[in-house]
Amino acid sequence: MAALGTLDSANLNGGQKLAVKFFTVAIALFGAQVLFGMLAGIQYLNPDFLFGVLDFSVNRMLHINAMVVWLLFGFIGAVYWLLEDESGTPVAGLGLGNLMFWVFTLAVVVVVLVYLLVQVGPGELKSIWLINEGREYIEAPRWADIGIVVCVLIFFYNVAATFMKGRFTGIGGVLVLDLVALAGLYLAGMWYTPNISMDQHWWWWVIHLWVEATWEVLVGCLLAYGLVKTMGVRRRIVETWLYIEVALLFGSGILGLGHHYFWIGTPEYWLAIGGFFSALEPIPLVAMVVHAVFDAGHHKLKSSNNPALAWMIAQAFGNFFGAGVWGFMHTLPQINLYTHGTQWTASHGHLAFFGAYATIVIAFVYLAVQKWRGNVWMSGDMAGGWKWKWAIFLLHAGMIGMTMALLVTGYEQSQVERAIGGSSWIAYFEAQAHVWFVQGMNWRMVSGWMFATGFVLLAWDLMTIGKRETRPARSVEVPAAAMA
């Protein structure tokens, strides 16, 4: 056994060894997301920048695809991380899981290379299969789509078979059912129809129901495990709350899908359904504030891993503001008519994705690093502890800055382009040239640099945190009897 503070795979179980591979690729893809986002941001200010070399359309696609895939890698890694711990048995079919990791990673590399090398050309059946499927956010070609489904099925097999072989905890049960939905919903985005309304109808099943249903539940499972590990919260409590939250999320989230059906050619009753659930969707988020205060009163925020806990707290706030406040501001159809697809949506998307999902993956990577270094001390008074604090500050300040800047540009677009200009082609460009838009994009860029700096610091911290520590981690877990 290596000394405390030294990275050593012997500190990890089989599932965790696989998890750190997923985490490593996830963080690399996070970097790619930041890089392509920065390039796209520069192109808003200087449209000639890299024109014909790396077009805005490609940068934007890579920016968003990298985000989807790094979060997916992070989630898969997080599940492998907790799998043996939760089930009490080694991962079933771990070799297959390892093979899946390499195939998945190789497929991502090939898809990105094709995006970069074949940027323009005719759109035909061959290009759907080999180059780009053309559906926003899930542009991966059909071969990669099928590959993703196979990988997710292997992942599902690993998870379900392991829990069946070992013990099925509450977290495990919810997780397995959620993965069925996660894999099944992806299929909705794979079939072809020439009717754009029908295409959009099914496409939203992947985008909305992944994000506002299955991903939220997955994050609920990860948070439940994380709270047991970092704060010693009793298992019975977190599992009961997991069930409650799943009911609330599915209750409001599934038909909240309706707010994406307002303007895509679906029947008018979706205005009523979407409006109803959109108005009520934030209530569970607001109600959860009560639970957060209640639990904070209980545990006095003593934790075995301060960076992980800080990112979990950031998740609660980010989810509340990004999804709750920013979502509700423009979700009713009476106003969404003007804001849909403007930078307002981008503002909401940036804060919600970062707040709800990026935060929890980063928290798990900190949990992983701690154990990888021999379960080293990561509570207060940590050697080199300034780096994680500055990283979390810069990433949040950058993200809030980008969100506010995009809010201003979206507000201007909704007025100048939509309400005054009537959504015409000319009005679109008038809005893009407006001083509010340009200033907003400049401030977005400044904030983007801040965010990028935060990312570099985060990556540096993840590679070095705990290296100079010789103390074992603070123990917070409650006795096994109390965990039942």
Q: Can you give the binding site for other proteins, defined by CB under 8 A?
A: 236-237, 240-241, 244, 268, 271-272, 275-276, 279-280, 282-291, 293-294, 297-298, 320, 324-325, 328-335, 337-338, 411, 414-415, 419-420
Q: Which is nearer to other proteins, 3 or 335 (CB)?
A: 335
Q: To the nearest whole angstrom, how small is the minimum distance from the Cβ of residue 263 to other proteins?
A: 11
Q: To the nearest whole angstrom, how small is the minimum distance from the Cβ of residue 213 to other proteins?
A: 20
> Which residues pair with residue 305 across a beta bridge?
378
- Upper half-sphere CA count for residue 311 (Cβ side, 13 Å): 26
Q: Which is nearer to other proteins, 350 or 371 (CB)?
A: 350
Residues with Cβ within 8 Å of residue 68, at least 6 apart in sequence: 137, 138
Tokens of 42: 């520069």
Q: Which is nearer to other proteins, 420 or 456 (CB)?
A: 420
Q: To the nearest whole angstrom, how small is the minimum distance from the Cβ of residue 318 to other proteins?
A: 13
Q: Which is nearer to other proteins, 122 or 267 (CB)?
A: 267
Q: To the nearest whole angstrom, how small is the minimum distance from the Cβ of residue 237 to other proteins?
A: 5
Is 29 within 8 Å of 73 (Cβ atoms)? yes
Q: To the nearest whole angstrom, how small is the minimum distance from the Cβ of residue 334 to other proteins?
A: 4
Tokens of 367: 């949990």
Q: Which is nearer to other proteins, 254 or 325 (CB)?
A: 325
Q: Which is nearer to other proteins, 37 or 355 (CB)?
A: 355
Tokens of 156: 């599902």
Q: Which is nearer to other proteins, 320 or 388 (CB)?
A: 320
Return the amino acid letter for 61: M
Secondary structure, 3-state, 300-312: CCCCCEHHHHHHH
Number of H helices, E strands in the chain: 20, 0
**358 vs 191: CA distance, rounded Å:** 29
Residues with Cβ within 8 Å of residue 260, at least 6 apart in sequence: 204, 207, 208, 274
Q: Can you say whether the dihedral through the CA atoms of 267, 413, 134, 448 is positive or negative?
A: negative
Is 245 within 8 Å of 284 (Cβ atoms)? yes
Tokens of 173: 């049960």
Helix 359-372 vs helix 306-318: crossing angle, to nearest 10: 170
Q: Which is nearer to other proteins, 191 or 294 (CB)?
A: 294
What contacts 24+ positions apart, CB below 8 Å, involve 456-460? 457/387, 457/390, 457/391, 457/394, 458/362, 458/388, 458/391, 458/392, 458/395, 459/27, 459/31, 460/387
According to DSSP, residue 271 is labeled: H
Q: To the nearest whole angstrom, how small is the minimum distance from the Cβ of residue 215 to other proteins?
A: 21
Q: To the nearest whole angstrom, how small is the minimum distance from the Cβ of residue 308 to other proteins?
A: 23
**111 vs 113: CA distance, rounded Å:** 5
Q: To the nearest whole angstrom, how small is the minimum distance from the Cβ of residue 288 to other proteins?
A: 7
Is 59 within 8 Å of 116 (Cβ atoms)? no
Q: To the nearest whole angstrom, how small is the minimum distance from the Cβ of residue 332 to other proteins?
A: 6
Q: To the nearest whole angstrom, how small is the minimum distance from the Cβ of residue 380 to other proteins?
A: 24
Q: Which is nearer to other proteins, 28 or 244 (CB)?
A: 244
Q: Which is nearer to other proteins, 276 or 449 (CB)?
A: 276
CA-angle at 14, arms to 10 and 19, nearest 5°: 100
Q: To the nearest whole angstrom, how small is the minimum distance from the Cβ of residue 194 to other proteins?
A: 28
Is 190 within 8 Å of 145 (Cβ atoms)? yes
**71 vs 64: CA distance, rounded Å:** 11
Among 401, 253, 262, residue whose Cα is nearest residue 338 = 262
- CA end-to-end span of the chain, whole Å? 31
Q: Which is nearer to other proteins, 154 or 271 (CB)?
A: 271
Q: To the nearest whole angstrom, how small is the minimum distance from the Cβ of residue 196 to other proteins?
A: 22
Q: Which is nearer to other proteins, 132 or 347 (CB)?
A: 347
* 315 CA to centre of own chain: 11
